[in-house]
Structure 1
Amino acid sequence: MIADLVKWEVTDPATMDAGVVAKAKRNLISPDAKGARRIPVVLDPFAGGGAIPLEAERLGCHAIANDLNPVAHIIQLATLEYAQNFSDLAGSSGSSLFSDNERPLIAEALEWSVGAIRQQVERDVKHFYQSTDGEVVIGYIWARTIQCPNPACRVEIPLMGSWWLCKKPKKKVALKPITESTSKIIEFEVLEGDEIDFDPHKCSGY
């Protein structure tokens, strides 16, 4: 039964595989000799994203989740409470979370909230992330640096194990350091495919 429960298909009530969940529920919450139903209690004191208590609830157990990490706690609220408590509220299209339509209220509320937070954060921190040629920066390469011990140089040197940004069979992208004897700053150039004229793994050849 455990092997069947871990299949993704059992999460969809419309599939025949979902019957294994109902069977597991019956086995877990079956009446005792006196006819009383005892619901198992599952406590996860370090629940993280809430996977264990979520599966426990799906099997009809009483789940208790906790975590010291505030980010994990917010994820647990979204996974274990909000989706359960607000799933039946219909959105503008008249659909709920578990209906066949695509726009339940909880999805609309989440989309609006995320958009509002993103706009606020963008206003607050945009000046820290300067763009080039109007392009939106979506990531940064971070590295520790050391200063060149040569008194005549003193250039800040990034410590990188590799200059590869992407190394896939059909897509190769590398970051090439550009150095000049008259400059005290190392600049970088992004090269793709046949443009890569050095060994990014050995950080040599430039």
Structure 2
Amino acid sequence: MEIKKIAVLGAGQMGNGIAQVCAQAGYEVTMRDIAQKFLDSGMATIKKNLERGLKKGKITQEEVDAVLGRVKPVLEMKDAVKDADLIIEAIPEIVKLKLDTWNEVDKLAPQEAYLASNTSSISITQMAAATKRPEKFVGCHFFNPVPAMGLIEIIKGAATNDESVEVIKQLAKKLNKQTVIVNEAPGFAVNRLLVPAINEAIFAIQEGVTTVEDMDLSIKLGLNWPMGPL
């Protein structure tokens, strides 16, 4: 199935970033949130990001206008998902909220639509079970800031089929992002390593090993991370 229309649920930091990169890749995007102020803020962020690219000569004014024209902010769930080929959820990491959202989406979205969650920690299998199409449910974990980060984690739930994985792989290709495929596990791949690293940095500070500033500097220069863990 060719993906042409994408619904992004959530207009926050991750949601507006996902909507932006999808629109830049030529997809028609609906971006849904629960209040107009969140939609306005999300659209303002997209515009600001694009205008930054315009000033750097990375994009033309015509392209800015075209991208903004491909993102449609909506309040009603049915308006967001009724024609979507792929639905990407990027709402707060609250289990009940996600389960309720997916239950609603499943009733409103076309039966052929694929379902993807941007969660960084919640079980894909658990969310998929809130729908009647768990085989079409997949983890699609972007990283922050979405326009700048080049990786998408594809997480397979217990029922996720190969076709759903391939849909996200093809999406990532159009977005000029690399993918890694991960079987469901706590923290998936990246956060499985990142969170313990942050914890160890905190423990080291508590134990008086070094200062916050020197810990961050040590990791930035010693491991070549773009920023320290703290």
TM-score, normalized by the shorter chain, greater than 0.5: no
Given the two structures, how large is their TM-score scaled by the length of structure 1?
A: 0.22
Q: Which has the higher helix share?
A: 2
Greater Rg by CA: 1
Higher RCO by CA contacts (8 Å cutoff, separation 6 or greater): 2
